[in-house]
Chains A and B, each alone.
Chain A
Amino acid sequence: MTQANVAPALRIRGLSKTYKNGVEALKGIDLDVPEGEFFGLLGPNGAGKSTTIGVVTSLINRSGGAIEVFGVDTEQDLEGAKRLIGVVPQELNINQFEQPLQIVAQQAGYYGVPWREARERAGECLRWMGLWDKRGVMARSLSGGMKRRLMIARALVHGPRLLILDEPTAGVDIEIRRATWDLLQEINAAGTTIILTTHYLEEAEALCRRIAIIDGGCIVQDTDTRSLLAQLAIETFVLDPHEPLAAAPPIDGYEARLRDDGSFEVEVARSSSINELFSALDGAGIQVRSMRNKANRLEELFLRLVDNAGGDGVVS
C-alpha cells in the first residue's frame, strides 16, 4: 500500500499566517481530514477559515507549518498537491466575459488536459451542474445560483480527489441552497472528499460528518458531528400552548420563560427524557399544541463554544 493510499486527504501541522499588517490569522493549527469525509470548517467572521483555505490552495503564502494533500507535501511538490485539489472560492472569480464551456474547458487545460478532452469533460461537468443549456452565453448573464454551479463545475473538471468549498451557498436563496446541498452530497457519494466552510450552521449539521470549529486563528473543536452535538448539555425548546399564556407557567422541575407571542421556553438537560417534561406539563395542566428547538442545535453549540473557547469541553 502506498503512502498516498493511507494518508488523509488533508493533513495540516502547525500552520500559521501573519499578514503584513501584523494580524495573526492562524496560530499554528493542526487538522486532519480523512479521505472520503464531508468535513465542515466553521468559525465566526475573521476566525481564519478563508485564510486556511487560501493557504491550502496556495492563494495565500503561509508563515509557517506544513500541509500534505493525500500525502503530498505542498512544500516539496506544490504542483503535485494542486492536481489533487479543486477549489470553489467564496467570491465569484469567473471571467464574466467568457462562456461557461470556455471557462470550464480552459480550467481543464490549466491542469494539462488536452483541448479536445477538456471540452468533453467541460461538457460533462456542465451537464452534471444543469448548465449545459447555458454553455454558450456570457457568464455575466447567468444568475447567482448558476454562477455558483459554474464554479463547482470548474473545480471538478480535472477530477480532484479533494474539493474545497468556501461558503458555497453564501447569498443564494433557500431553493438554490438546498439544490447545492443535494449536489455536494452526490459529489461526496461519488468518492470526492469535501471540505466546506459555511456560515449556515444548519448546512454544516445537515451535510458534514465531521466538524472543526476555528476561532481567533485556533482550532477550538475538531470531532465528528454527532460527538460535537452530544457536548451540548442543555437544549432549549419553544412550546406553543393551546391558548396563549399571560405569564410563565409553573412547571415542576423546570424553569419556564414566557415569550412575547404567548408561547414559552423550557431548558431541558440532554441527560433527561423529553417524556419527563411532558409529564410535568400534564401535572401543571398545560396542553401543548406544538414544540420546536429554539435554535439550530449546532448554532447553539457553536455560539457557546466560541464564547467559551478553552473551557472544559462540556457546553451548557
Chain B
Amino acid sequence: MQRVLRIWPQTLLPPVITTSLYFVIFGPVLGERIGEMEGFNYLQFVTPGLIMMAVLTNSYQNVVSSLFGAKFQSHIEEMLVSPMSAHAILLGFAIGGVFRGLVIGAIVAAVSVAFVDLPIAHPLWTILVGVATSIAFAFGGFINAMVARNFDDVSIVPTFVLTPLTMLGGVFYSVELLGEPWRTVSYCNPILYMVNAFRHSILGSSDLPISVAGGVLGLFIVGFYTVAIIMLRRGVGIRS
C-alpha cells in the first residue's frame, strides 16, 4: 500500500486521465448520438463498466508488478525463508492490489460525478461487488506473476486476455444487442458477470441476474485463491 501511494504518478494518475478521456468521448462527443441504452443515457450506462475496468485492471497490475518485481530482484526470498504461511504471503500481496484497485475505482467514480449523474441504486452491493472483483483479480495477478519468467510474460495476460475480455465484457454495450452465437459466447466471459453485477448495483438494472453474477464472482475468488495457494506451496516459479 505504501508503494502505491509513494509512486502515485505511476499508479493513481494514469487511470484517472484515461478514464476521464472515456468520459469526454462517450459523453459530449459520442454519447448523445448513440442515445439511450437499457433506459439510461449512454454515459450513465458505460460509467459502471469504466469504474469496474479501472478496479480490475489496477488490482491485477499491482499484484503482478509487485510480485514479479520481488521475484526479479529476488527479495521474494525474504518471505520464503521466513515462517510466514502461504496464506499470509498471498493475502499480503492481494491486499496491496485491492487497495490500489479500490482507491483508483473511488477516484474514477469521483471524476465521473463531473460528467454524469449516477443514482447508486444499491450502495452496499456497489461496495461488495467492487471489493469482490478487486480480490478476484488480485489473486489472478498473483497467479500470473508466479508463472511469469520475464517481463513479456507479465504483459501477455493483460494485453491479450484481460483487455479483450474487458472490452467484450459489456462495458460499452448491452449483451442483449448481440446476435447469436456471440451472445452465448459472451456468457462465457467472466468479466461480463462482474460488469453487470456492478451496473446492477449502481443503476439498478443489468443484463444478468445479480445472484448469477455474484455466484460467478465467488467461484472465481475461490478458484484463483486455491490455485494461487497450491502454486505458492509447491514453489512454482520461485523454488527450484
Interface residues of chain A, those whose CB is within 8 Å of chain B, are 19, 54, 57-61, 78-80, 82-83, 85, 87, 89, 91-96, 106-107, 110-112, 154
Q: Taking A79-B83, A82-B82, A112-B83 as contacts, is the C-beta distance between A89 and B239 under 8 angstroms?
A: no
A–B pairs, 10, beta carbons within 8 Å: A58-B81, A59-B239, A61-B240, A80-B83, A89-B74, A89-B77, A93-B78, A95-B70, A95-B75, A154-B78
B-side contacts of A91, CB under 8 Å: 74
Q: What's the dominant secondary structure at chain A's contact region?
A: loop
Give Cα A92 to B80, complex, Å: 15
B-side contacts of A95, CB under 8 Å: 70, 73, 75
Partner of B235 from the list A61, A87, A93, A94 (CB cut-off 8 Å) is: A61
Contact between A93 and B240 (Cβ–Cβ < 8 Å)?
no
Contact between A59 and B77 (Cβ–Cβ < 8 Å)?
yes
> Nearest CB to that of A61 among chain B residues?
B239
Partner of A19 from the list B70, B77, B85, B240 (CB cut-off 8 Å) is: B240
Does B29 touch A at the CB level, under 8 Å? no
> Nearest CB to that of A108 among chain B residues?
B82
Interface residues of chain B, those whose CB is within 8 Å of chain A, are 70, 73-75, 77-85, 235, 239-240
Give Cα A58 to B79, complex, Å: 11
Partner of A110 from the list B73, B78, B240 (CB cut-off 8 Å) is: B78
Partner of A59 from the list B70, B80, B83, B85 (CB cut-off 8 Å) is: B80
Contact between B75 and A93 (Cβ–Cβ < 8 Å)?
yes
A-side contacts of B84, CB under 8 Å: 110
A-side contacts of B80, CB under 8 Å: 58-59
Q: Taking A19-B240, A93-B73 as contacts, is the C-beta distance between A79 and B81 under 8 angstroms?
A: no
A-side contacts of B74, CB under 8 Å: 89, 91-93
Output the least CB separation between A216 and chain B (Å): 18
Contact between A107 and B78 (Cβ–Cβ < 8 Å)?
yes
A-side contacts of B85, CB under 8 Å: 79
> Nearest CB to that of B82 among chain A residues?
A110
> Nearest CB to that of B88 among chain A residues?
A110
Contact between B81 and A87 (Cβ–Cβ < 8 Å)?
yes
Contact between A111 and B83 (Cβ–Cβ < 8 Å)?
yes
Given contact pairs A61-B239, A94-B73, a sample of 20 additional A-B residue pairs in the complex whose CB atoms are under 8 Å apart = A57-B81, A58-B80, A59-B80, A59-B240, A60-B239, A78-B83, A79-B85, A80-B83, A85-B81, A91-B74, A93-B75, A93-B78, A94-B75, A95-B73, A95-B75, A106-B78, A107-B78, A107-B82, A110-B79, A111-B83
A-side contacts of B240, CB under 8 Å: 19, 54, 59-61
> Nearest CB to that of B240 among chain A residues?
A60
A-side contacts of B78, CB under 8 Å: 93, 106-107, 110, 154
Output the least CB separation between A137 and chain B (Å): 15
Give Cα A110 to B80, complex, Å: 10
A-side contacts of B239, CB under 8 Å: 58-61
Give Cα A107 to B76, complex, Å: 11
Output the least CB separation between A144 and chain B (Å): 16
